[in-house]
């Protein structure tokens, strides 16, 4: 593959994966199964390995986890809480590599055997639970903190809610350590999931798509008493090796169970790949009898000394891997096809199905992704199709049973106009889009939802509220939100005094949201959090940003010609200028605060630094530090580069270019020596010193 083609495909894959992550974690409405998502991720990993010059710290391959896992739109009796305290994990919660191929499990075992050079070891095989990750910290036998995964470095403190989960002990018994941490999963059993969705449907609220999202949403409720009603359970499966004096993983879990902790008993010690296969085969069938969702088997090296010897990659442990079950499938009839318009204008076909039981839930709808997928399947209304649930989550049609096709079945026609506003569609890559960005109701609702989201303006409202505001005429653009009065809210169905006041209070609080987040919130296409932060600090206010020429914008780090065009066109559209004027009139922050932190020093003033490799802190933190000392980060090596800051495993192409141009290459230690002694330089964390990260 040529470099230019690889770059285009990498950018496309990143955009697709980020969109699917948003749909999965934020919208609670994923459109592809785990298998398809994992295949896209694997393709991106392979391309980034083959073309390291295109690696980026913002790539989905570099992200360990996300706290964007609480579905929004809970009603007043189940309001999702936003203001959890953040706490740093003592040991980073990394993610697992996964595969659907038993051959890759054999390769995993062969690599471990080769690296351990004759050192004896065994495997501990466990169920892979489909819930939301949790870390419990006990001190003197008492539960001190419970943290979500967050971004892998820090998570939300949800201790008050976890105390309401019946099988998590607040006090331990036996010979427990003075202080230790144990990690696992918060689950919602099928019976609790069905009861919760039945209640939501009775209240005319949208049901949760699956037990995993129901569990993660319940864990973020504002009222712990409400959490107690959700029927959550915990299963624990990992104690970071640094905090316990045991020789093996299995021994640690056995001792944890003796202290009263809910450790999974469905695990087996295996000596070879044959025993691992037997365990996988057993649970591939028996998982259907379990009262909760599972989507695979985790295989871990049992001996803790061997785990330490094998170590970690930047994202995952080398001593563990997950085997994910192939999706269960069922055959059912296609009753019709709807066409949904997303926030970006993408039109997605969704098949309405005759209800069928699949992996513990009733399936009524399945995505068809795009027009090309429909044509590839040759699907028709009235067909009988095979439906799978990749990872036991999202239904997907995989094939048509042609032998049962009705004689008069006709291929469906993909719409040529937007099904929501009637605008002629335009094609970009494999998707059809509605270009009526400012007039299409679904796109407008999507932008309202984005504007009010936690990482943007953090206004207490979700998708249901945005739809209600739009349908009632209260809000057709973000500025309209600030014109809403309490009496208007109380006139809407479902609103009461308390919920109305909470919403208005959150509107008032949003006036203090800093400029960089406001810039992210207004929704310029392609501008994420990091880019908005860079632009805010570079230009200082919205007027300077709007006055910048496209060429000036393109010179900003990580912008380029396409994003520069998006920014320029957005800020020169009269409708958007009026919108920004109204938001400014309401008091939103469109300039950097005068008391915003200034530079720590001028040690790197005028220097352009290229960052490559892995460091003791995140690369984002390293870039923040460079900027704080007056430096500028660039993504590629050129004659303007002052030096390359090289961590562990820097890109070979960048090293070659530095050698060719005579540009210095500095280690992290040498870089830190350039900074003042009292600067906030990256310090090696305790976890990094001991292990460079631990599982979960």
- Asked if pLDDT for residue 418 goes beyond 90, the answer is yes
Could you tell me which residue, 681 or 319, shows the higher pLDDT?
319
How crowded is residue 211: how many other Cβ atoms within 10 Å of its Cβ? 26
Task: Calculate the alpha carbon distances from 666 to 229, 376, 456, 466, 526 in Å.
Answer: 55, 51, 36, 50, 32
Same domain, 345 and 383: yes
Residues in the chain: 696
Q: Which of 386, 411, 433 is the last residue of a domain?
A: 433
Which DSSP helix (H) or strand (E) runs through 657? helix 652-661
**Distance in angstroms (rounded) separating the CA atoms of residues 363 and 354:** 8
Same domain, 93 and 155: yes
Q: What is the pLDDT of residues 517-569, one digit of tens each?
A: 999 999 887 787 768 888 998 899 999 999 999 988 988 866 878 789 889 99
How crowded is residue 80: how many other Cβ atoms within 10 Å of its Cβ? 18
Q: What is the pLDDT of residues 373-416, one digit of tens each?
A: 888 889 999 999 988 765 445 687 888 998 899 998 888 999 99
Share of the chain above pLDDT 70, in %: 87
Q: Radius of gyration over alpha carbons of the chain, in Å?
A: 26
Q: What is the pLDDT of residues 225-246, one digit of tens each?
A: 889 889 999 999 999 877 678 9
Enumerate the β-bridge partners of residue 350: 338, 367
Enumerate the β-bridge partners of residue 394: 390
Mean pLDDT along residues 461-476: 91
- Asked if pLDDT for residue 353 goes beyond 70, the answer is yes
The closest of 23, 65, 59 to 44, measured between CA atoms, is 59
Could you tell me which residue, 102 or 204, shows the higher pLDDT?
102
Band of residue 454 on the pLDDT scale cut at 50, 70, 90: confident
Q: Which distant-in-sequence residues (6+ apart) come within 8 Å of 270 by Cβ?
A: 122, 123, 124, 125, 276, 279, 299
Domain presence at residue 336:
yes
Same domain, 271 and 226: yes
Domain that holds residue 201: 76-324
Tokens of 266: 């469905």
128 tagged catalytic: yes
Same domain, 446 and 429: no
Q: What is the pLDDT of residues 566-618, one digit of tens each?
A: 899 999 999 999 999 999 999 999 998 876 666 678 888 878 899 988 888 77
**Distance in angstroms (rounded) separating the CA atoms of residues 9 and 19:** 15
Q: What is the pLDDT of residue 656?
A: 81
Domain count, the chain: 5
Q: What is the pLDDT of residue 546?
A: 94
**Distance in angstroms (rounded) separating the CA atoms of residues 293 and 643:** 50
Task: Please work out, in degrees rounded to the nearest 5, the angle formed at the alpha carbon of residue 673 by the alpha carbons of 667 and 677.
Answer: 145
Mean pLDDT along residues 90-105: 86
Same domain, 33 and 96: no
Domain presence at residue 196:
yes
Cβ pair 283, 296 in contact under 8 A: no
Tokens of 633: 């980060």
613 phi/psi in degrees, rounded to 5: 100, -170
Q: What is the pLDDT of residue 4?
A: 87
Same domain, 424 and 445: no
Q: Where are the alpha helices (DSSP H) in 483-639?
A: 486-490, 497-510, 515-521, 529-539, 542-547, 550-554, 560-571, 574-585, 619-628
Tokens of 241: 């090796």
DSSP state of 679: S
| CATH number for the domain that contains residue 632 | 3.40.50.10190
Same domain, 359 and 496: no
Q: What is the pLDDT of residues 301-327, one digit of tens each?
A: 999 999 989 988 767 889 999 998 876
Longest pairwise C-alpha distance within the chain: 80
Same domain, 645 and 529: no
Q: What is the pLDDT of residue 243?
A: 66
SS3 state at 195: helix
Tokens of 568: 């320029």
Q: What is the pLDDT of residues 479-498, one digit of tens each?
A: 999 999 999 999 999 899 99
Q: What is the pLDDT of residue 206?
A: 58
Q: Work out whether strand 320-324 and strand 98-99 pair parallel, antiparallel, or are unpaired.
A: parallel
Q: What is the pLDDT of residues 164-203, one digit of tens each?
A: 999 999 999 999 999 999 999 999 998 888 888 777 765 5
Same domain, 380 and 482: no
Annotated catalytic residue: which of 7, 86, 114, 128?
A: 128
Q: Which of 408, 433, 458 is the last residue of a domain?
A: 433
Q: What is the pLDDT of residue 429?
A: 67
**Distance in angstroms (rounded) separating the CA atoms of residues 257 and 252:** 9
Q: Which distant-in-sequence residues (6+ apart) come within 8 Å of 454 by Cβ?
A: 68, 82
Q: What is the pLDDT of residue 171?
A: 93
Q: What is the pLDDT of residue 501?
A: 94
Cβ pair 239, 93 in contact under 8 A: no
Same domain, 389 and 456: no
- Asked if pLDDT for residue 64 goes beyond 90, the answer is no
Tokens 């379990």: give the residue: 290
Same domain, 558 and 670: no
């Amino acid at each position: 593959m040529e470099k230019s083609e690889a770059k285009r495909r990498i950018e496309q894959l990143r955009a697709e994966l980020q969109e699917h992550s948003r749909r999965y974690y934020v919208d609670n409405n994923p459109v592809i199964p785990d298998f398809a998502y994992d295949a896209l991720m694997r393709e991106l990993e392979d391309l980034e390995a083959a073309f390291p010059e295109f690696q980026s710290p913002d790539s989905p391959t570099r992200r360990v986890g996300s706290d964007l896992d609480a579905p929004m739109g809970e009603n007043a009796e189940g309001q999702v809480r936003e203001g959890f305290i953040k706490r740093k994990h003592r040991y980073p919660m990394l993610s697992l590599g996964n595969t659907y191929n038993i051959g890759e499990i054999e390769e995993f075992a062969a690599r471990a055997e080769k690296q351990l050079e004759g050192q004896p070891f065994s495997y501990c095989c466990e169920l892979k639970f489909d819930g939301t990750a949790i870390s419990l910290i006990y001190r003197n036998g008492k539960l001190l903190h419970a943290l979500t995964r967050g971004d892998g470095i820090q998570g939300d403190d949800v201790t008050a809610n976890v105390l309401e989960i019946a099988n998590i002990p607040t006090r331990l018994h036996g010979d427990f350590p003075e202080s230790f941490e144990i990690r696992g999963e918060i689950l919602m059993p099928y019976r609790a999931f069905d009861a919760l969705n039945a209640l939501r449907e009775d209240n005319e609220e949208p049901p949760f798509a699956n037990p995993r999202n129901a569990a993660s949403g319940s864990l973020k409720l504002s009222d712990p008493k409400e959490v107690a009603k959700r029927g959550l359970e915990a299963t624990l499966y990992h104690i970071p090796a640094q905090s316990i004096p045991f020789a093996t993983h299995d021994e640690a879990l056995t001792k944890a169970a003796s202290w009263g902790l809910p450790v999974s008993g469905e695990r087996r010690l295996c000596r070879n790949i044959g025993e691992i296969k037997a365990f996988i085969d057993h649970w591939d069938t028996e998982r259907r009898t379990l009262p909760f969702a599972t989507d695979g088997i985790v295989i871990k090296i049992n001996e803790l000394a061997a785990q330490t010897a094998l170590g970690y990659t930047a994202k995952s442990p080398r001593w563990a891997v997950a085997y994910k079950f192939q999706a269960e499938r069922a055959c059912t009839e296609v009753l019709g096809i709807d066409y949904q318009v997303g926030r970006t204008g993408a039109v997605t076909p969704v098949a309405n199905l005759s209800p069928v039981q699949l992996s513990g839930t009733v399936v009524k709808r399945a995505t068809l992704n795009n027009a090309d997928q429909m044509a590839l399947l040759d699907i028709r209304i009235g067909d009988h199709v095979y439906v799978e649930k990749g990872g036991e989550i999202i239904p997907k049609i995989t094939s048509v049973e042609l032998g049962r096709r009705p004689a008069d079945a006709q291929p469906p026609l993909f719409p040529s106009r937007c099904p929501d506003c009637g605008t002629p569609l335009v094609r970009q890559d494999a998707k059809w889009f509605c270009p009526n960005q400012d007039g299409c109701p679904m796109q407008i609702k999507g932008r309202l939802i984005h504007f009010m989201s936690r990482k943007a303006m953090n206004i207490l409202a979700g998708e249901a509220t945005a739809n209600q505001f739009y349908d009632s005429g209260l809000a057709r653009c973000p500025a309209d939100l600030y014109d809403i009065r309490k009496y208007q809210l109380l006139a809407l169905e479902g609103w009461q005094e308390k919920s109305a006041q909470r919403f208005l209070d959150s509107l008032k609080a949003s006036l203090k949201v800093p400029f960089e987040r406001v810039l992210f919130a207004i929704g310029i296409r392609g501008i994420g959090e990091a880019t908005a932060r860079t632009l805010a600090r570079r230009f200082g206010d919205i007027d300077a940003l709007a006055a910048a020429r496209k060429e000036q914008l393109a010179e900003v780090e990580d912008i380029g010609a396409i994003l520069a065009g998006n920014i320029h066109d957005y800020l020169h559209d009269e409708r958007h200028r009026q919108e920004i004027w109204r938001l400014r009139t309401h008091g939103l922050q469109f300039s950097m605060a005068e008391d915003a932190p200034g530079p720590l020093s001028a040690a790197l003033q005028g220097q352009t630094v290229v960052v490559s490799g892995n460091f003791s802190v995140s690369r984002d933190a390293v870039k923040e530090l460079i900027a704080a000392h007056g430096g500028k980060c660039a993504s590629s090596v050129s004659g303007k580069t002052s030096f390359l800051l090289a961590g562990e495993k820097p890109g070979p192409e960048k090293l070659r270019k530095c050698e060719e141009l005579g540009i210095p290459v500095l280690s992290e230690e040498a870089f830190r020596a350039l900074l003042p002694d009292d600067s906030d330089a990256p310090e090696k964390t305790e976890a990094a010193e001991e292990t460079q990260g631990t599982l979960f």
